[in-house]
A and B are shown apart, each in its own frame.
Chain A
Amino acid sequence: MTKIAKIVKSASQLQLNEQGELTHLLTLEGLSKEHIFHILDTAKQFVAVSESDREVKKVPLLRGKNVFNLFFENSTRTRTTFELAAKRLSADVVNLDIQTSSTAKGETLLDTIDNLVAMQADIFVVRHKTTGAAVEVAAHVPPHVHVINAGDGTNQHPTQGLLDMYTMRHFKEDFTKIKVAIIGDIVHSRVAKSNIHALTTLGCPEIRAIGPESLLPKDLNMMGVKIYNNIEEGLKDVDVVMTLRIQKERMEAGQVPEGDEFFKQWGLTSERLKLAKPDAIVMHPGPMNRGVEIDSEVADGPQAVILKQVTFGIAVRMAVMSIVAGN
């Protein structure tokens, strides 16, 4: 077993307590259908908290709890939605600015965690460039402390996967009747991996990966994903189109053609979108590069649900935090 495979195996076990309940959220790989639906059902209740007729857009479930956002990698959307979710649950939230923290001065990750546990931390939201960082934290903390993985390296981004599942369920209802196409940089995308694991667990009969060979992982076939090196073929008759951000570093490293050329071959345009089902939805985890992986006309068009994903993301993160903190 490789080192990463070990981490993944322990992650799916570590996130459950002795009763089999979710006490951390580290990975969607190996997370059961029942757990995923429980999170999605709970999130549905939380969507109502931000509805306009409710004057007090806050509930007291996590009153008196301390949530620490530990973002060792930059993120605006994910960090902000976690912060909002925690605040809507009445938790006290501390955002650690890692660039200027002790970690930058050489303190180890686990020393930082110990210090924050001594400050009565209840939940850690961890984003880190290293695969398995959140797992390491979860294995280290005392049992009353909960850890949520907000993205580790190129491995997992479980809350993004869950909010994508929430969005697909909201618009398409039944996972067992939809075809989902994921386009772009799948090999480096923790979002794509989390989505593929969740879709497989939920019984999605057809998951397609579309992109240049250099950006598709070698083991996709083993995961039951169909590979398309031609975007037109891959989009035919799908219900959900998920575009992924193409990172500039990949272009600079010569792994994919630069800007315009990438768009010509792999960009999602209105013309190409017409190949999908007429009521197909277009998703993107953000941040978008307009004119690179997606055309503005599509991003702002009637089939795009990209901003809905952001809104649902708050409710899904409220659900995850209130579930793990209660177990």
Chain B
Amino acid sequence: MSAENLPHIPFAEDLYQTLLQQLKQQQSLGNKFELAGLASGGAWVAERLAKDLGLPLYGVINVSFHRDDYAEKGVKAFNSAEGMSTKLPFDVEGAHVILVDDVLDTGRTVRAALNELFDYGRPAKVDLAVLADRHRRQLPVDATFKGAKVSVADDQILVLDQADDGQFLFTTETK
């Protein structure tokens, strides 16, 4: 296969800038919100968004405890969170929380993240912000804010990397 025929890998930096503009617009409308990034890729995005939006803090959500594939995979699924534990340094009760992830795909991770979030209190409102939407939903979940819809070959997973200077890059790995 020639290079031109390879499925297009989205430019994570472009997606990030698009997402950042959408959240800046929310701020300019006077909407107050807290960011909570899904470990580990979403947590990196939330960290950078918090900095660029001038927010003093951001939360991290580890979905491991609420994953629906424990019976199949056991705790091996825990490893993807790279040891990040859930830390929500704001009062969840009554807050407007924007969950942040790198890729929205089946929607299962978001379902687990909602359960984890609600273990900490009852937020007033929850939105979802993602860099890339692969749109292969298995649950009724959608993102309020997204960098772009992307299409990647079905047998590929999109992996977010962050360079030392903070820049994002998507690569693909075969499942």
Contact = CB atoms under 8 A, between A and B. Distances in A.
B120 A55 contact: yes
A63 to B, nearest CB: 9
Interface in B72-97: 73-76, 78, 81, 83, 85-86, 88
A41 B82 CA distance: 10
13 contacts: A42-B75, A45-B78, A47-B85, A48-B86, A54-B86, A55-B119, A60-B65, A60-B115, A322-B74, A326-B71, A326-B74, A326-B75, A326-B76
Contacts of A323: 74-75
* Interface class of chain B by DSSP: helix
Contact of A59 (B66, B83, B118): B66
A45 B119 contact: no
Contact of A41 (B73, B74, B83, B120): B83
- Chain B, interface size category, equals 20 to 34
A53 B120 CA distance: 7
B64 interface: yes
Contacts of A21: 74
Interface of A: 21, 41-42, 44-45, 47-49, 53-56, 59-61, 319, 322-323, 325-327
Contacts of A47: 85
B62 interface: yes
Given A326-B73, A326-B76, A55 B86 contact: no
Interface in B43-74: 62, 64-66, 70-71, 73-74
Interface string B150-174: 0000000000000000000000000
Nearest to A64: B71
Interface in B90-124: 115, 118-121
A327 B74 contact: yes
A42 B65 contact: no
A48 B78 CA distance: 14
Interface of B: 62, 64-66, 70-71, 73-76, 78, 81, 83, 85-86, 88, 115, 118-121
Given A59-B65, A59-B66, A326-B74, 17 more contacts: A21-B74, A42-B75, A44-B83, A45-B78, A45-B85, A48-B86, A54-B86, A56-B119, A60-B115, A61-B70, A61-B75, A322-B70, A323-B75, A326-B70, A326-B71, A326-B76, A327-B74
A29 B65 CA distance: 30
Given A44-B83, A45-B64, A55 B75 contact: no
A42 B120 contact: no
Nearest to A47: B85
Contacts of A42: 75, 78
Given A49-B65, A59-B65, A326-B70, A54 B75 contact: no
A148 B81 CA distance: 27
A326 to B, nearest CB: 2
Contacts of B73: 326
Q: Which 4 A-B pairs have the closest CB atoms?
A: A326-B74, A59-B65, A56-B119, A48-B85
A148 to B, nearest CB: 15
Contacts of A54: 86, 119-120
A45 B75 CA distance: 11
A207 B8 CA distance: 57
Contacts of B121: 55
A47 B75 CA distance: 15
Contacts of A327: 74
A53 B74 contact: no
